[in-house]
Amino acid sequence: MKDLIIDYSTQLNDIVIILAAAIGVFYFKKFKNNDSRIFIYYLVYVAFVDFIGSYPTYFVEYDIFNVLKEKLSTTPFKRNYWWFTTFWNVGSALFMSYYYQKIIKSKISIKIIRYLGLVFFISSCIYILYDLDAFFNSQLKFINIFGAIVILNCIALYFVEVLNSDKILVFYKSLNSIISAVLLIWWLIITPLLFYEVYFSTADSGYLLLRKYVYLFSNIFMYLIFAFALIYCKPEHK
């Protein structure tokens, strides 16, 4: 069973991401007049990023991509680190910043999110330009950790607003609240790995296996809850 999970971990991860995005699209009409619809856009965005970013796998599994594989083999784009750094680590954090700016009402909180997001974007661009080789060949831990801080800051400010309002009374019925709670749990699980990876190398097979399990089951938990919340929750009235 363990070997089966590891062998098909990528497929399992893709399935839950696509499932959450598909349910979001299916229930889009329910949230189309509400700011929560932005989160549905985000799920579709994540599915797109995951699908395109898996192109090295397609090169191995499908002969139809042999021509493209040969053309990219001598370029920095032969690996997908650049794609996920740009569109997941940076793009996802900025997307979530925009989402929280829409659902949070406090002008001070919105300004904090906006300025932190701007600093993150500028810092990420400078960091990438400073070390383009690492951008194409490895994960950039600075951007990973800074992006986590941006999202956790958004969640914290949202919860502060919820605790100081009547929203706390309908917390379990609110799509935005469930999304924030699940994201907080996910990041609390994943963030230690970002710091821990500094002390490990790709040669440590035990750590790599543990890391794969943590990411896989965290993702399955998160995206299934997202799918359930889209079905269960009703749009919030302004």
The pLDDT value recorded for residue 16 is 94
Four-CA torsion 51, 56, 83, 137, nearest 10 degrees: 160
Q: In total, how many domains does the chain have?
A: 1
**Residue 234: in which H helix or E strand, if any?**
none
Whether residue 48 is predicted with pLDDT greater than 80 in this model: the reply is yes
Task: Give a yes or no: residue 42 inside a domain.
Answer: yes
Task: Give a yes or no: residue 238 inside a domain.
Answer: no
Mean pLDDT for the stretch of residues 64-78: 81
Q: Across 1-15, 51-65, 80-94, 170-184, which has the greatest mean pLDDT? A: 80-94
37-56 as b/e: b if 16+ CB within 10 A: bbbbbbbbbbbebbeebbbb
pLDDT band at 55 (very low <50, low <70, confident <90, very high): confident
Task: Give a yes or no: residue 237 inside a domain.
Answer: no
CB atoms within 10 A of CB 174: 22
Task: Give a yes or no: residue 24 inside a domain.
Answer: yes
Range of the domain at 89: 2-232
Closest CA to 190 of 154, 152, 218, 224: 218
Q: Is-contact 137 78, C-beta < 8 A?
A: no
